[in-house]
Amino acid sequence: MQELNLPRFETKIAERDGRRVIFDVIRRRYVALTPEEWVRQHFVHFLLEHKGYPQALMANEVQVQLNGTKKRCDTVLYRRDLTARMIVEYKAPEIEITQKVFDQITRYNMVLKVDYLIVSNGLQHYCCRIDYERNTYTFLQDIPAYGDL
């Protein structure tokens, strides 16, 4: 798989029914190894190992109801009271991060109303903080450590 702009980690890759799978520490099971999943697993490990995010407060493939349809957020970070705090949207490395990607994550946020939105294709990462009082958002220079949220 492609080299990413994220720290390496010890991957657990196997073959099941003729296809490659990777172990997802959040879902605690093997999942299909797609380019997007490759990015997800690297980013999740980055958040856990380098930014101090608690694994128990993270979930992958979180379903939300949006305008009568079911959508899935790639990763959601929760507060200790289990309200959503951050949404992370992943794209495969060859997918350019465009306004369309931000529109997608913003639609998910209409339901979850989180403080932080992150978009990554494994090569580029964007994080913004939402200020609901001022109805604005600010792009951050870096992905914040968990203790700085």
Q: What is the mean pLDDT for each group of 10 consecutive residues in the chain (149 residues)?
A: 92 93 96 96 97 97 90 94 95 94 90 95 96 92 94
DSSP letter, residue 37: H
Model confidence, pTM: 0.93
Q: Do 77 and 86 meet the contact criterion of CB atoms below 8 Å apart?
A: yes
- Do 45 and 63 meet the contact criterion of CB atoms below 8 Å apart? no
Q: List the 29-32 sheet strands across, edge first.
A: 13-16, 19-24, 29-32
